[in-house]
Amino acid sequence: MKIGTDLGKAKALLEEGKLVAIPTETVYGLAANALNEDAVLRIFKAKNRPTFDPLIIHAASLEQVRPLLRDVPSLAERLFNHFAPGPLTILLPRTHQIPDLVTAGLGTVALRIPRHPLTLELLKTLDFPLAAPSANPFGYVSPTRPDHVAAQLEEQVSYILDGGPAEVGLESTIVQITSEDKMHVLRKGGLPIENLEALGPVKVFQHSTSNPRAPGMLKSHYAPRKPLKLGYLDELLAGHPNQRVGVLAFKRTIPEIPAAQQRILSPEGDLAEAARNLFAAIRSLDTLDIDLILAEWVPEKGLGRAINDRLRRASAE
Ligand code: TXA
Ligand code: MG
């Protein structure tokens, strides 16, 4: 069986340099031993990911990886104390024990302490961190359930550790700490910016292909195969009268569209529920016999900011 909850098997495979899909609270990761360059190369090949796009390393605690870091700013310590384990990734100066392939040659490594109990248990028993991007082919929507991983990468992974559906459903928030102890958010994600602001000033960067700060944060990312148009549903529907459309709505249903072609992110209008459902909803609309997906904005606050960011990128051509 390729899918299961056998931690011993996952550990043994990772120690051999194999790829294992791991559950996290954000999305499923495609994991390998971060200190084994051959294993890390397998990740890039399996995802068809360009090697200029650096990976996040995952550990059970900051202490576990401290010897691999050159320095841990006090603000990073405070952030991890507050939010780890959780959907927060921090860029930290690294030593050369971490292969260049992991960081695309950058002087920093992205570190995250994920919150899923199975994966935390696994990380505690390993004597190396796990490099893990989201477990999807490069450019596609991230997986939030084990069957999403199996649908696209079953051949490429040795094992899928089944941790059920992801609790948060959006990738981690990525933070860079400046020399003036300011937080720069390079990717909006599962930890709302409002939570970070409790610890100091935050500046949010809109990323694009031309943003050299975050080499992998391409604008067109998280994209379904079907075209996705983003805006106000009434206008979008009026603008595509003769096409077979799928609808991705925040909380309401559209009476004129068949129910099977609609996905409602949260009937109650709850942003955490909407985040949990977002990627599975996009994936399932993408499998329908339709011409395009029409999606609406959610409220631009809390997790809604990251949801809108993913929708914007899914709609980029
Ligand atoms: O929630 C998550 O973060 C998930 C789970 C599996 O942990 N991982 C994830 O990884 O979303 P990935 O590879 O899909 O996205 C990581 C992003 C990339 O866009 C990459 O460019 C950026 O992090 N990144 C990694 N290291 C970096 C660095 N040293 N400097 C700037 N950006 C970096
Ligand atoms: Mg990804």
Least confident of 46-55, 158-167, 199-208: 199-208
Q: Rounded to whole angstroms, how far apart are CA atoms 286 and 282?
A: 6
pLDDT class of 316 with cuts at 50, 70, 90:
confident
Q: Residue 42: is it exposed, middle or buried by C-beta count within 10 angstroms (0-12/13-18/19+)?
A: buried
Q: Is the CB of 55 under 6 A from ligand 1?
A: yes
Mean pLDDT, rounded, of the chain? 94
**Given a cut of 50, is residue 300 above it in pLDDT?**
yes
* Helices within 16-116 (DSSP H only): 37-47, 62-65, 74-83, 100-103
For the residues 255-280, what does the mean pLDDT come to?
A: 97
Structure tokens at 75: 């603000």
- The burial of 245, by beta-carbon neighbours within 10 Å (0-12 exposed, 13-18 middle, 19 or more buried), is given as buried
H/E stretch holding 123 reads helix 117-125
Place 317 in a pLDDT band, splitting at 50, 70 and 90. confident
Alpha carbon 179 to its chain centroid, in Å, reads 27
Phi, psi of 315 (to 5 degrees): -90, -10
Of 66-70, 210-214, 240-244, the one with minimum mean pLDDT is: 210-214
> Is residue 26 within 6 Å of ligand 1 at its C-beta?
yes
Q: Determine the atom of ligand 1 nearest the C-alpha atom of 217.
A: 19
Tens of pLDDT, residue by residue over 59-117, are 999 999 999 999 999 999 999 999 999 999 999 999 999 999 999 999 999 999 999 99
pTM of the model: 0.96
Per-residue pLDDT tens for 122-147? 999 999 999 999 999 999 999 999 99
Q: Is 23 in the pocket of ligand 1 (CB under 6 A)?
A: no
- Among 160, 171, 191, name the best residue to mutate to test ligand 1's pocket (greatest count of ligand atoms within 8 A of Cβ): 171
Q: Does 217 have pLDDT greater than 80?
A: no
Instruction: Give yes or no for residue 21 CB within 6 A of ligand 1.
Output: no
Q: Distance, CA 87 to ligand 1 centroid (Å)? A: 12
User: Does 208 have pLDDT greater than 60?
Assistant: no
Identify the pLDDT of residue 222. 73
> Is residue 286 within 6 Å of ligand 1 at its C-beta?
no
| Mean pLDDT calculated for residue range 277-289 | 97
Higher local confidence (pLDDT), 211 or 199: 199
At residue 221 the predicted structure's pLDDT band, cuts being 50, 70 and 90, is: low
* Ligand 1: residue whose CA is nearest its atom 3: 172
Could you tell me which residues come within 8 angstroms of residue 88 by beta carbon, excluding any fewer than 6 positions away? 79, 80, 112, 172, 173, 175, 191
Q: How far apart are CA 280 and CA 302, in angstroms?
A: 20
Asked if the model's pLDDT at residue 204 lies above 70, the reply is: yes
Ligand 2 centroid to Cα of residue 300, in Å, is 22
**Which atom from ligand 1 is nearest to the alpha carbon of 22?**
6
Ion ligand 2: residues, CB within 5 A, are 134
Residue 212: its pLDDT value, please? Answer: 42
Top mutation candidate among 43, 56, 148, 191 for ligand 1, by most atoms within 8 Å of CB: 56
**Mean of pLDDT values over 198-214:** 71
pLDDT in tens, 140-178: 999 999 999 999 999 999 999 999 999 999 999 999 999
